[in-house]
Amino acid sequence: MRRGKLSKVFELVILFVVVVGFRALARADAVGTLKGTAAPNAQVLVVCPGGMTWKATADAAGRFTITGMPAPATCTVRAVAPNLTSVSRSVTIKAGGISSVSLAVPKDKPSVPTPEPKPTAKTEAAAPLAPPPAKPAQYAMERRVRISKGAPLSMDQDPAHNTEAYDRIDDNPFQRVAQKPLSTFSVDVDTAAYSNMRRFLTGGTLPPKDAVRIEEMINYFSYAYPAPTNGDPFSITTDVTQSPWNSKLKLLRIGLKAPAIDSRQAPARNLVFLLDVSGSMSAPNKLPLLKQAMNLLVAQLRPEDKIAIVTYAGNAGLVLPATRGDQKDKIRNAIFGLEPGGSTNGAAGIQLAYDIAEQQKTKGGINRVILATDGDFNVGTTNQGDLTRLIEQERERGISLTVLGFGMGNYKDSTLEKLADRGNGNHAYIDTLAEARKVLVTEAGATLITVAKDVKLQLEFNPATVAGYRLVGYENRMLKDEDFNDDKKDAGDIGAGHSVTAIYEIVPAGVEVPSAAKVDDLKYQTKTTASANATAAELLTVKIRYKAPDGNKSKLLSRVVKNEEVAFAQAPADLRWATAIASFGMMLRESPHRGNLSWKQIYTMAQGAVGKDAEGYRTEALSLIQRASTLRR
């Protein structure tokens, strides 16, 4: 009897083992392995039915393997090479076996880097510059600006048919304090001009003069300004030094700094991506780069965040309704399916995107539309006036705008800058995946979180110590003096972690004001006399007005700048760096105010002010200065 019970137990154990074995075999038969070849170091993405995704990176020989895939199933495989050339294939995953796919770049679509320009008599005459210091290790991975190897991206349009558009910029002139004692302007936190300039230099040409906005070049970089105190949204720093390009003049730096916000503590984000998927966005450095950029942001989304995707070509459509940030596979699947085609009806997309953002509006959160396009609107509302009026109407909903520019050949910088300005937003140009990471990940707080809006500055110069002045850059941000106290007048916003820098050339009292327009003495009035406050101890007073992000009434801050200066060699490194970048911009613009500047002087000035450069942005700028010194228009 006992032996019979043991026999039955033994039989049950054997049966259990057999069942488990068969189930294991069944599970093994239900999965497969994918092996393939692509460009060396290419990024591989596989999307299977149900939105399931797998990612891999090809090795140096272009080989990759992905295991544990559902089978049988027909999946889409896409490889994006380091030069952004992409290839996609459909492949059937075999159950219990190995499937193969080749994602090699077609021979009729080679990736050819832009060759170095051949030396000419003029380039040979340029003063040789020392090589830049070694780059930080983390700098080299994604920067993809290789000055010695030409451009990372190929032109997607014939240069002979280039239709890029830039508004004309005339350098701010010198002003006489006796005739114009006030200087009023709006802050500018855009950075598009710098990365766009980098694209030109990396491709072997100087940028158009009107593509160079000096304030955006200066503000591309972060500066070590102190944190704000007394509950103010930003700190104010001022200092004065000698001008390195005109020994008779002084330089004034004004710096504003907003505190950074830990991304984990940021308010909930309600983001609506408005994506241009028209035919003009088909080049590798447009929609394919945009899709990679979006994936960087998706990885940072939290469960409390929401993201929607609106696309526009001939018509506008909702590709992804508002989706929680923890549904990353669903979001990535929507991004992966984007394909270019058709004309560009931007106005229809703008209206739909703002409608979606309004429906999902988060009280106390970040409500923002992110427009990504080359700006080549050619259907529906196409002129700048009507487009900017549309954006002005939409901003009244309390929804901000970020504009991301892509591509070359038909890039409409002038349109995109105006849309960002009128939409309480910011404007960046994405030329590489590294720049996308900077804008959407590293500096996401500055890009997405507004801490102060309608920020205006007004400087009153002391006639006892200042004969004249000139604001370097900010030409399209100048305001009327009466606009400073007008709370209905729109101005720029400052985001979390943003630093804003402005540089003035100062003409000391007793020195002739360079190239300033002369005005005849008045017949019926006498010249204004200086007040008792115009003492030799002060240069000027800086006044700043700003509003809270949800406020309508401005607040006033004020600082007095003493008549004190330091020698340029002893000035803070950040001041010397900002001055070097301003000089860089003046040389690129061939500014009539560049004095005795030379490329060698600019490079030396910048090289001595690099300081701590964890992200490698300043080191990269040295290479760009070096590159620009060898190019001619």
Average pLDDT for runs of 10 along the chain of length 633: 51 48 44 88 73 74 86 82 71 88 64 37 44 48 38 42 88 95 95 96 95 98 93 95 95 96 88 90 90 92 95 79 95 91 67 88 91 74 70 84 91 90 90 92 87 96 97 97 96 93 97 85 82 90 96 95 96 98 97 94 96 92 96 87
Amino acid identity for residue 565 in this structure: E
Give the β-pairing of 366-373 and 86-93: unpaired
Name the CATH topology of 263-442. Rossmann fold (3.40.50)
- Alpha-carbon span 403 to 447, nearest angstrom: 10
Give the β-pairing of 269-276 and 43-48: unpaired
Close Cβ partners of 342 (under 8 Å, ≥ 6 residues apart): 277, 278, 279, 313, 314
CATH of domain 125-156+163-261+452-514+535-628: 2.60.40.1230
Burial of 231 (0-12, 13-18, 19+ CB in 10 A): exposed
Nearest to 348 by CA among 394, 286, 412: 394
Nearest to 189 by CA among 153, 223, 155, 146: 223
Torsion from C-alpha of 347, 441, 226, 233, nearest 10 degrees: 40
CATH class belonging to 29-102? mainly beta
**What's the pLDDT score for residue 116?**
36
Sheet holding 426-429, edge to edge: 316-324, 306-312, 269-276, 366-373, 400-405, 426-429
Close Cβ partners of 276 (under 8 Å, ≥ 6 residues apart): 287, 311, 312, 313, 344, 346, 349, 371, 372, 373, 374
**What's the pLDDT score for residue 7?**
56
- Alpha-carbon span 139 to 281, nearest angstrom: 28
- Alpha-carbon span 349 to 354, nearest angstrom: 9
For residues 345 and 307, the answer to whether their CB atoms sit within 8 Å is: no
pTM listed for this prediction? 0.76
Residue 315 token pair: 């018509």
Element holding 241 (H helix, E strand): strand 235-242
Beta-bridged to residue 426, according to DSSP, are: 402
- Alpha-carbon span 143 to 437, nearest angstrom: 10
* Domain regions of the chain by residue span: 29-102, 125-156+163-261+452-514+535-628, 263-442
**What's the pLDDT score for residue 1?**
46
3-state secondary structure of 439: helix
β strands within 142-230, DSSP E: 175-176, 182-186
Residue with tokens 């609506």: 272
- Alpha-carbon span 390 to 547, nearest angstrom: 23
Neighbours of 76 (CB within 10 A): 15
**Do 29-102 and 125-156+163-261+452-514+535-628 share a fold?**
yes
